[in-house]
Structure 1
């Protein structure tokens, strides 16, 4: 496991009630996107078998039965990432989060899950006459997590032991902790790409793409 930072941009916010359309504040939207990333990392690690199924415990989130790691080391690692990522999100410094699954035997990158975050400007926000309800946002997130779950039907089986890395693309002027380092993009060489569903708030839009190495 390792954490890396790179260069780019993003921001966030929150607030809403049962079925009524309340504009989510920028701060609330940022918190929602950060939280989504945390559950996405956990979901990918479980669905792709990076760690044994017994290392996960069920929780209820987004109206779905989700699974999150129960391994202390992995939890601490994800918590460290999320702590920094949340700060960058609030400052509008994030443009992309990437989860890369790598073979421990060969060091080859096998899968690359990319989440692009777009901070919607005032003009774009104003152009949207209909503000999404909390229920509509949750339904969009549900649809994406169902796709992540269903990804096992088209992604090649991961053979052997694997590890994962998280890459965070932050603005060049973002304050980076000492223990974080630069990284290459860890692209999948000659890989296939599948675009998954997008979701968003009035302040942010998240696009998802998975690329993977074809089984030989």
Structure 2
């Protein structure tokens, strides 16, 4: 249900940020925070003109990002405990959101390690991704 709501709101360009949060089920501690910054090209929206970019080029950029996400297992810590996931959707202040959504704290990680992933552009959006994770003591 959440993804259906996000998809419909993304189609009308209302999310500057979406964050996927991974929490420890037992302690509630935030272990990972996947940040997706979404910039909408206002000229495309207002004037209806499309950026000159082929679908093939867009797919290449998305595939590069997906490969990097898949390979993140090599540098993100292993989550060896039961986890729960949450989606934080940051909207413009004047947006009416579904009544089932609730406000949340930002679910920050104290002293995180951060990894910037590839960005990609579509004909309407630019998406930047940053993963923050708990800085395990054994990594130091």
TM-score (norm 1): 0.58
Cα distance in 1 between the residues matched to 2:85 and 2:29: 11
What residue is the counterpart of 1:152 in the other structure?
Answer: 73
What residue is the counterpart of 1:182 in the other structure?
Answer: 103
Cα distance in 1 between the residues matched to 2:5 and 2:135: 34
Structure 1 residue 201: deviation in Å? 1.6
Structure 2 counterpart SS, 1:198 = strand
What residue is the counterpart of 2:133 in the other structure?
Answer: 212
Provide structure 1 residue ranges, at least 5 long, that are not aligned to the other structure. 1-79, 124-129
Q: Deviations over 1:11-33 (max 9, x none)?
A: xxxxxxxxxxxxxxxxxxxxxxx
Q: Deviations over 1:26-74 (max 9, x none)?
A: xxxxxxxxxxxxxxxxxxxxxxxxxxxxxxxxxxxxxxxxxxxxxxxxx
Provide structure 2 residue ranges, at least 5 long, that are not aligned to the other structure. 45-50
Q: Deviations over 1:88-147 (max 9, x none)?
A: 222221111110000012110000001100011328xxxxxx721111100100000100
TM-score (norm 2): 0.88
Aligned residue pairs, count: 132
**Does the 8 Å CA contact 1:95/1:169 hold for their aligned counterparts?**
yes
Aligned-residue RMSD, C-alpha: 1.7
Structure 1 residue 156: deviation in Å? 0.9
Cα distance in 2 between the residues matched to 1:165 and 1:202: 28
Runs ≥4 residues deviating over 6 A: none
